[in-house]
Amino acid sequence: MIKSNLKPIIDERNISIRKLSNDIDHGFNTVRKLYHDEMERYPRDLLDKVCTYLDIELHELLIYKKD
């Protein structure tokens, strides 16, 4: 299972979902779904923007856990 690790990353940095979505110019609802780990598909442009903005690697944002 692939899980989003966005919540602890931006919570630690005191960045809101709204600020992140505005700063990366991506839809609030899509970023909110990533934050709450509710996405079934991950748009590559969103992953690129989030990783670039937060200066993190993809493996820090998305975590693979065996079921």
Q: What is the pLDDT of residues 10-41, one digit of tens each?
A: 999 999 999 999 999 999 999 999 999 999 99
Residue reference for tokens 């442009």: 45
Task: Report pTM.
Answer: 0.93
67 band by pLDDT with thresholds 50, 70 and 90: confident
Per DSSP, the three-state class of 62 is strand
Number of C-beta neighbours around residue 25 at 10 A: 7
CATH 1.10.260.40 fits 2-64, yes or no: yes
